[in-house]
A = this chain, B = another copy of it.
Amino acid sequence: MSEKRTEISELGEFGLIDQLAKGALIKNPSTLKGIGDDGAVLDAGDQVTVVSTDLLLEGVHFDLAYTPLPHLGFKAVAVNVSDIAAMNAIPTQITVSLALSNRFSVEAVQALYEGIYAACEQYGVDLVGGDTTASRSGLVISVTAMGQAKKEQLSYRSGAKENDILCVTGDLGAALVGLQILEREKQVYLSNPDMKPELEKYTVVTGRQLRPDARMDIIHELRELGVVPSSMIDISDGLASEIFHLCKASGVGATIYEDKLPIDKQTFDTAVELNLDPITCVLNGGEDYELLFTIDQKDFTKLEKHPDVHFIGHITKAEEGKFLVTKSGTAVQIKAQGWKHF
């Protein structure tokens, strides 16, 4: 056969999605927003319904060698709740589909659900359905989350305007550094099963990797403070990559400042120990599930004193590009280098 074969790696994940999304014609008036944001937005009368879905595969997204099943269940829910949060909506329901090989006992599945239900409890969501099936190989978890918001409360990726302030919650890079530690200790264990993994001094970074928290606390606080971010995205692929998504969707540029980027001391020290550049971890580390958002300058005073919101830069015109101003005052162009699955 002489049919053309294009490797998926040639397009990349986002290129593939862009290409496939071209066929997605909107026919229903209730579809307010389809592909292209953290969640889809469906009209539901007074409120809108926000929908997001994630697929997690053993060997690709998690390694059961060091991932406790309750943590995995929690994380599978949290990453979807984080997408709902990134739309500035309140999560309400989830569905969970599982594919299980006979390697898994009922007790193992129960341990997984322990984490799923703990996350349901923490985020106030109801598990309302799913599908359970056999798998010939590894564990597959597919979660879909739905949330509610008023239309005027939604924050899309596309709403950032020039002079808006760029904010991030929490601290960044911890999940990537945690993953490196877990991988290192796994290799140590595999080469000598009598060695006990040394993880005590890395609980912050490994905890962030294994059991990240969706920042619903921030969403609720923003509501109390009367702040609706002009744009928002959750940091799943890395800060640099998310800045690119946000700037592209909003048609703007951005300048951020190295000395404003939040990093935990343990993340910094562990990165140095691993010979990784801490700032690279902050810029390109994925899976922190913190929020990146923009606010109008008039909202600054409302958030100024918030201990967990950091003002890392501002939005510029698109033609000004995307820059990081280093501690020494040099402006370097930001490259989007997020997680690459393909």
Which residues of chain A have a CB within 8 Å of any CB of chain B? 3-11, 13, 16-17, 19-20, 23-28, 30-31, 33-35, 39-40, 42, 44-47, 49, 51-55, 57, 59-61, 92-93, 95, 97-100, 102, 104-107, 109-110, 113, 117, 120, 124-138, 140, 142, 144, 146, 148, 341-342
Contact = CB atoms under 8 A, between A and B. Distances in A.
How many identical chains are in the complex? 2
Contacts of A4: 107
19 contacts: A6-B105, A7-B105, A8-B104, A8-B106, A10-B106, A23-B113, A28-B126, A40-B95, A40-B129, A45-B47, A53-B130, A54-B131, A57-B134, A59-B136, A60-B135, A95-B144, A132-B341, A133-B341, A137-B138
Nearest to A124: B27
A28 B140 contact: no
A164 B117 CA distance: 38
A125 B25 CA distance: 9
A105 B5 contact: yes
Nearest to A128: B40
Nearest to A148: B30
Contact of A110 (B20, B106, B109, B129): B20
Contacts of A34: 126-129
Nearest to A57: B99
B144 A102 contact: no
A3 B106 CA distance: 12
A102 B136 contact: no
A224 to B, nearest CB: 20
Given A42-B49, A49-B44, A127-B35, A11 B92 contact: no
Contacts of A53: 95, 97, 129-131, 142, 144
